[in-house]
Amino acid sequence: MKILVCDKMEMNAIEKMRAAGLTVDTNFEITAEELPNVLPNYDGCVVRSRTKIRQPLIDVCPNLKVIVRGGVGLDTIDADYARSKGITVMNTPKASSASVAELTIGFMFMLARNLYKATATMKDEKWEKKAFEGDEIGGKTLGLIGIGNIGREVAKRAAALGMTVIAYDPYVKEFAGVQLVGLDELLAQSDYISLHLPKTKESAGMIGAAQFAKMKTGVRIVNCARGGIIDEQALYDALTGGKVAGAALDVFAEEPPTDWKLLKLENVIASPHIGAATKEAQGRVGAEVAEKLIEFAKNH
């Protein structure tokens, strides 16, 4: 079986696949324009968030049998269409959960203690000791929108820090230590709201002006899930209007953004989609990709 790895992956995982008898080529910089000429020669491909596998590309790849997305979510792949063509589509939903959860918690601490602004003033050689009174996150209510693999890891860590954790997820009936509530109740009760759900037709734009109006004044928002679930203009208005005290964003409707006004607000901290960017997560992602492809090759 011939596999093309289109995005950067741990070399030990690639060598593991080769040792198992797979022919594995790597092209970590392959462009969308090059893919239609190259991918038809392969039985399978591995992608991360950079490479998109859409219907037109699938249509010119009659030999394609399997697509593996190293990471959480399948929004970069026309997965339903691929499956309708008999192509197996897989991802690695658990491999990066702990890393994304830790970034979420880190963002919450940064928002609570104004750490970004405090650091910036120190770099400007200012000693503004009295300007940065913050809050403890212990005793606050964290509302999780989505309580899948990552949401559950966040819930465990938040509970250990003394937070009350509530969650909205229409696909989950119970999770120990977390009260499941309706979305409106979560919006009204939460001091912090963190998103942990895929971007789908149902979830796109689900947090907009109407939802911000239902939140506590002074709420803080964290999004390490997917861009486009939050209406960015509505978030901008909520941040500048005083409804939302601060936001921490790792994902954006456009990546990289073309409109930077949201990110330039003083009460916004941001990172360039690095939720899974830890050595540990990358190792687990690579290992899981290799295991899935080796198993697939054995059975096909």
Q: Could you tell me the domains of the chain?
A: 2-95+279-299 (3.40.50.720), 97-270 (3.40.50.720)
Note the maximum CA span of the chain.
66
One-character DSSP codes across 112-142 = HHTHHHHHHHHHTT---GGG-----STT-EE
Omega prior to 198 cis, within 30 of 0: no
**pLDDT, one tens digit for every residue, the chain (300 residues):** 999 999 998 899 999 999 999 999 999 999 999 999 999 999 999 998 889 999 999 999 999 999 999 988 788 899 999 999 999 999 998 899 999 999 999 999 999 999 999 999 999 999 999 999 999 999 999 999 999 999 999 999 999 999 999 999 999 999 999 999 999 999 999 999 999 998 888 999 999 999 999 999 999 999 999 999 999 999 999 999 999 999 999 999 999 999 999 999 999 999 999 999 999 999 999 999 999 999 999 988
Whole-number pLDDT of residue 90: 95
Q: Which of 46, 157, 173 has the alpha carbon at shortest distance from 105?
A: 157
Dihedral angle sign, alpha carbons of residues 52, 28, 66, 195: negative
Residue 224 tokens read as: 């390490």
What residue type is 261 in one-letter code? K
Omega prior to 256 cis, within 30 of 0: yes
Q: Would you say 232 and 211 are in contact if contact means Cβ atoms under 8 Å apart?
A: no
Whole-number pLDDT of residue 25: 96
Catalytic residues: 226, 255, 273
pTM: 0.89
Whole-number pLDDT of residue 72: 81
Whole-number pLDDT of residue 93: 83
Whole-number pLDDT of residue 201: 87
